[in-house]
Structure 1
Amino acid sequence: MQNKYSILINTCDNFEDCWIPFFKLFTVYWPDFEGTIYLNTEYKDFSYPGLDIVCTKVCEVNKIPHNVRATWSQCLRWALEAIDTDIVLYMQEDYFLNGSVKTVWVNHFFDLINTNSNIPCIQLTQAGIPALEKSKYDKLFTSTPDYFSYVSCQASFWRKGVMTSIIRDHETAWNFEWWGSKRAKYMGYEFLVLDPNFFSPNESIFPYVLTGVVGGRWYREVVALFKKHEINIDYSKRGFLEENTKPTISKRIKTKLSIYKLQSVIEIIKIKYFLK
């Protein structure tokens, strides 16, 4: 059995402006991390001093032309296939660390998932899925599989094969959480979360800005954090998320989303009634 894990930073090349802030804060708030970090790029390379970063370049590897956009789920699956550990710590490029990572607890939960093959996933933040009742594992609770984002893209330890089994290539990140949650329920996966009676939200073991970029725009919470650490960003390129900002969706995209929704519904029916 492997005694290590990899970190997967899920990203795309259009979010390249997040990479330097992310890794600078990573080195500040998790200086004792030792291991490999996979940055899930499409075509680009990237490095940061003192860190072992492997760029997956999944679209280049899979010979996807630059004028063709691979889906979010395709890129995630390809990245998982490139990782050489059974356990991955999943994050995204705009999860900017803003406090010290409690390495002792992170290692504790890695040991639990690594030595218990029936644990599919452990959420490392209280902002993911809600706790239900105490599990048989130390400092962990169960959650309800009926929760709308039972499959959560917040920071978590995942068994690589479990995450791969939930992925469907046509889905976006939001589809992955929504429809993946329903698939996970019928697949019988029991995802675990931190014990809310022991871990205070104000004393997170893995503290970060939950989403630094929303809808392609900066979340204003990052400004003070970046200023504190002398991270210079041209915010005008993305602009800021405003409360009254509503994304517009073209008729063509709406039609495509309807087709994808039908595909996901069919997948649920197959799992629920035919694949048990």
Structure 2
Amino acid sequence: MNPSSPSRSWSVIVSSCDAYSDLWPFFFHFFEQRWPQAPRPLYLVANFQTFDHAGVRTLAVGPDRSWGATIHAALEKIPDEFVIFLLDDFFLDQTIPMGWVEDLVAQLDQARGDFVSLYHVAVGGAPLAEGSMLSEIRERMECPGFHAGIFRRSYLMKLAAAGENIWRTESLMRDDALDRRFKQFSLTAASPFHLTYVESVRGRFWKKNGLDYLKQNGLKPDLWRRPHPPSGDDVISKVIRSFHKRRMQWMERLRSKAHTKPVQPLKSDTHA
């Protein structure tokens, strides 16, 4: 890597939809705390609802389609060559150091790469060059998939163009690890940082560690809108989860037909 090489343009995109709009105040609360120097605007993918924050631009792409078609429509509205791709239920839990992402973008661009994970550290992977933070992915299951990473925008659009759900798109991405036309990377052990987060939701419900993280930070979610039902395999637990899923789907249909106001940030956050 040539340290004097100029960084190419990049932005942050957060994959979401209106059904997860209750997570937005929490996601961006932690984002502003952990990564205040990230370039603005931040791009939020949604259906119709918007998030009322000056630093966030909501990309409202209309009714639910396939995950890939939704992301493709959003990416068409982003001008930057590289995008940092994040998921709405992954709450940042460490401060991201200044210059780290800029250096990674510059290295990825110089390597003509398509993707580098921001959290996955290669086990025994050799650096691309002396001093590089990039270790090339060569096997299918070395690719960590859609968690948090830097994508060349054209490559992410290529994946999204298939119009598949996120799990099938992740499989397509892993297939590309075997295709020498594409270049995917993990972080080397020498990278000074790797991004960490709390995965707060699974199967539409709050995870315990997500609730614990909110509690540790003095925050309370709406447990009627998104509950934390028992996760056991017994009949009663399954019935409770089924009831909540049906109720949540009914409430989402009602919200989609109503005139919804913009989602507000937490009261402790500003609109700077």
Q: State the TM-score, normalizing by the size of structure 2.
A: 0.75
Deviations 1:2-24 (Å, cap 9, x if unpaired)?
A: 73311000101100011000001
Report the secondary structure of 1:110's partner residue: helix
Residue 89 of structure 2 aligns to a residue whose secondary structure is coil
Mapped pair 1:83 → 2:78: yes
After superposition, residues 90-129 of structure 1 pair within 5 angstroms as: 90-114=85-109, 116=110, 118-126=112-120
How far apart, in 1, do the equivalents of 2:124 and 2:39 lie? 30
- 8 Å Cα contact 1:130/1:144 also seen in 2: no
- 1:96 Cα shift? 0.2
Residues 1:118 and 1:215: Cα distance change in structure 2 (over 3 Å): same
What is the alpha-carbon distance in structure 2 between the residues aligned to residue 187 and residue 125 of structure 1? 23
The alpha-carbon distance between structure 1 residues 178 and 104, as it changes in their structure 2 partners (threshold 3 A), is same
The CA deviation at 1:171 is 1.1
Structure 2 partner of 1:154: 147
Matched, 1:3 2:14: no
Q: Does 1:231 align with 2:251?
A: no
- Per-residue Cα deviation, 1:33-61 (whole angstroms, up to 9, x for no partner): 2322110011111122xx521111112xx
1:187–1:80 CA distance, 2 compared to 1 (3 A): farther
The equivalent of 2:210 in structure 1 is: 222
Equivalent residue for 1:253?
none
On the 8 A contact 1:38/1:54 being kept in 2, the answer is: yes
Contact 1:150 1:177 in 2 (8 A): no
> Which is further off, 102-111 or 17-26?
102-111
Equivalent in the alignment of 1:251: none
Does 2:164 match 1:171? Answer: yes
Aligned length: 230
Distance 1:3 1:188 in 2: 21
* Partner AA of 1:16 in structure 2: S
Give runs of aligned pairs for residues 22-101 of structure 1, distance below 5 A: 22-48=27-53, 51-59=54-62, 66=63, 69-101=64-96
C-alpha contact (below 8 Å) 1:8/1:40 kept by paired residues = yes
Q: 2:99, 2:231 → 1: CA distance?
A: 38
Identity, % of aligned pairs? 19
**What does the per-residue CA deviation read over 1:144-181, in whole Å, with 9 as the maximum and x for residues that have no partner?**
3321x726111111000011112244411111111332
More helix by share: 1
Compared with structure 1, are the counterparts of its residues 90 and 82 closer, same or farther at alpha carbon in structure 2 (3 Å cutoff)? same
| 2:126 alignment partner in structure 1 | 133
C-alpha distance 112-2 of structure 1, shift in aligned 2 (>3 A): closer
| Alpha-carbon distance in 2 for matches of 1:235, 1:157 | 33
After superposition, what is the alpha-carbon deviation per residue over 1:201-253, rounded to whole angstroms, capped at 9, x for unaligned?
Answer: xxx532211x32111111111122212322220224322375546899xxxxx
* One-letter identity of the residue aligned with 1:20: P
Code of the aligned partner of 1:13: D
Structure 2 segments unaligned to the other structure (5+ residues): 1-5, 243-272
Q: Distance in 2 between matches of 1:38 and 1:108?
A: 21
For the 8 Å contact 1:86–1:161, the answer to whether it is kept is: yes
Cα shift at 1:102: 1.9
Q: d(CA) in 2 for partners of 1:171 and 1:241?
A: 29
What's 1:265 paired with? Answer: none
- In structure 1, distance between residues paired with 2:137 and 2:111: 18
Instruction: State whether residues 123 and 155 of structure 1, in contact with CA within 8 Å, keep that contact through their aligned partners in structure 2.
Output: yes
Task: Give 1:98 deviation, angstroms.
Answer: 1.1
Match of 1:194 among 187, 211, 233: 187
TM-score by length of 1: 0.74
Change (3 A) 1:31 1:40: same
Does structure 2 conserve the Cα–Cα contact (< 8 Å) formed by 1:151 and 1:180? no
